[in-house]
Structure 1
Amino acid sequence: MSSPSVLIAGCGDVGSRLATQLLAEQWRVYGLRRTVSRLPQGVIGVAGDLFSEQCPKDWPQAPLDYLVYCAAATEHDEAGYRAAYVEGLQRVLSWLKQHGQQPKRLLFVSSSSVYEQKGGEWVDENSPALASGYSGRLMLEAEQVALNSGLPATRVRLTGIYGPGREWLLTQVRRGYRVAIDPPLYGNRIHADDAAGLLAFLLEADRRGAALDDCYIGVDDAPAPLAEVVGWLREYLGVTEWADDASVRRTGSKRCSNARARALGWVPRYLSYRQGYAAILQGQG
């Protein structure tokens, strides 16, 4: 059997981690990004800009088995999100069509921001996705572009990604971050390696002929109140002083379930924030 091929459009942090995992499984990996020198060794660089109408000059000429759209907004406003997620995906689909390429499946990397539940309730792929904020609304619009692309498409709604280089919460805790305890503000997270691992797992599952659903939530096993996470990090880091007043968090409060991905056979490497943050702080992940 020949090696399967994949184009990762928007091959940044998570995309590069995905590429590394697929290369280890003998995949042929193309990575589309502006600066191809930053791609992992072994990835075939496709120098291109998802914000430009110009098709990359070194677009793959061979058939592509899979497409993973894994972009990140460079401007965090409504126009920036539309450009990155809606218009960027439309451009990549157009470039595929120009080259007569018909991948077996499209994985669109989305976000749990499509859910705005605020009462700490459990959320799964069948829960109402009724985002009113621009980020969630535009993710839902981009998801529809994927579903209407003419390709078999699966949306992967990732929760709060953390890992090396994504250490905002660690920095805040060291600075004395304090959050409200009651009512609990539930948060959801996934280590960047597990985010990539879920994408790799879904690609391998599809390659083997498994029937994929059109949506999966990417989250670890243990959604937790933010105050609990902060308290654990304080103890781990030895932080003994923090702000008098709690910071206000404006996002929702929900608990996302990974039951559908687990039912397919996926298991996160970092089951909770404890394992994930401990690995970061020990320099292991």
Structure 2
Amino acid sequence: MRLFILGLGYSARHFARKFGGSFPHVAGTVRDPGERTDLQDIEVHAFSGSRPADATLERISEADVVLVSIPPGSNGDPAIAAFGGVLAGRHRKIIYLSTIGVYGDHGGAWVDEGTPPQAAFERTRLRLAAEQAWTDSGYGNVAILRLAGIYGPGRNALVTLRTGTARRIIKPGQVFNRIHVDDIASAIMAAIEHGRGDTFNVCDDEPTPPQDVIAYAAQLMGVAPPPEEAFETAEMSPMARSFYASSARVSNAKLKRELGVKLAYPTYRQALDALWRAGEGR
């Protein structure tokens, strides 16, 4: 199976590093290939939303698996707009990376793939529209992976503590869901190998108040955690504050049951322990 990755971001790059050897050919897009030196063994193409080069169109037309990691814009999904013509030429496996943010606020209650999404924000509406566009496209067997908050090497509470950017914002009843990038990679591969398309939540076993994660990381590092800040009075950007408008516990039961994914890091504690041993935050 030839793999083409639309958007070589953090999660997609990690997938390519972990499972790229499973494919005879791997290609993907970045905005500016000249600025990227971290993509060895990947044939890199430029794409920033405008018309792609003919060579890019040819490569994606040959792909058996397309991993879509480009977010929608105000005018819809740029990948469908740019590549829909060549993707329509043959049936293939398409994995679309979405977000659990589409569920909206449920007051900390449990939700699963059968819970109707809520488009409380424009970004949520655009995500849902993109999910539907790929599902209805007829371009192939489409799997929608709704990702929780992503963390892993270089992007975790140990790093933010060490750089002095960690905060403990306290909003009673607030929980966030998260997922280690290794487990995202495993979920993508399982979805590729799965016989049909569907929607799956990709998150760990333990939705948790965000301040608890910071406190645990501080304990590992042997440092004092940052002071608690009340959500109501904390200085935050409108975007950061908007994430606290939604609180839900997202179930991963379907991911385990139907895709057979066994999480390497079922809780943030196991993941932070491993990251600390690997030298993160030092």
SS of the residue aligned with 1:217?
Answer: strand
How far the C-alpha of 1:218 sits from its partner, in A, is 0.8
Pick closer, same or farther for the CA change 1:143–1:6 going to 2, 3 Å. same
Give unpaired runs (5+ residues) of structure 2: 233-240
What's the counterpart of residue 272 of structure 1?
267
Deviations 1:22-63 (A, max 9, x none): 323244211122344445322222x22141123453444573
8 A Cα contact 1:106 1:153, kept in partner: yes
TM-score (ref. length: structure 2): 0.82
Deviations 1:106-159 (A, max 9, x none): 111101110112411111111110121112111001111101111221111001
SS of the residue aligned with 1:156?
Answer: strand
What's the counterpart of residue 178 of structure 1?
168
Q: Are 1:230 and 2:235 counterparts?
A: no
SS of the residue aligned with 1:54?
Answer: coil
8 A Cα contact 1:186 1:226, kept in partner: yes
Alignment partner for residue 80 of structure 2, among 85, 89, 94? 89
Letter in 1 for 2:16: A
SS of the residue aligned with 2:212?
Answer: helix
Pick closer, same or farther for the CA change 1:56–1:161 going to 2, 3 Å. farther
How far the C-alpha of 1:234 sits from its partner, in A, is 2.7
Alignment partner for residue 55 of structure 2, among 44, 52, 57? 57
Alignment partner for residue 256 of structure 1, among 250, 256, 277? 250
Letter in 2 for 1:71: I
8 A Cα contact 1:120 1:253, kept in partner: yes
Pick closer, same or farther for the CA change 1:152–1:70 going to 2, 3 Å. same
Letter in 1 for 2:40: Q
**Count of residues in correspondence between the two structures:** 264
CA distance in 1 between counterparts of 2:200 and 2:143 reads 8
Map 1:30-49 → 2, pairs under 5 A: 30-36=27-33, 37-38=36-37, 40-45=39-44, 47-49=45-47
SS of the residue aligned with 1:245?
Answer: strand
Alignment partner for residue 127 of structure 1, among 115, 123, 138? 115
Letter in 2 for 1:44: E
Alignment partner for residue 105 of structure 2, among 111, 114, 117? 117
What's the counterpart of residue 76 of structure 1?
none
TM-score (ref. length: structure 1): 0.82
Give unpaired runs (5+ residues) of structure 1: 74-80
What's the counterpart of residue 20 of structure 1?
17
Deviations 1:198-217 (A, max 9, x none): 112211x23xxx3x342011
What's the counterpart of residue 236 of structure 2?
none
Deviations 1:72-98 (A, max 9, x none): 57xxxxxxx335x6133332223434x
CA distance in 1 between counterparts of 2:223 and 2:78 reads 44
How far the C-alpha of 1:11 sits from its partner, in A, is 1.5
How far the C-alpha of 1:239 sits from its partner, in A, is 3.1
CA distance in 2 between counterparts of 1:214 and 1:33 reads 27
Q: Are 1:143 and 2:131 counterparts?
A: yes
8 A Cα contact 1:10 1:71, kept in partner: yes
SS of the residue aligned with 2:4?
Answer: strand
Pick closer, same or farther for the CA change 1:55–1:132 going to 2, 3 Å. farther
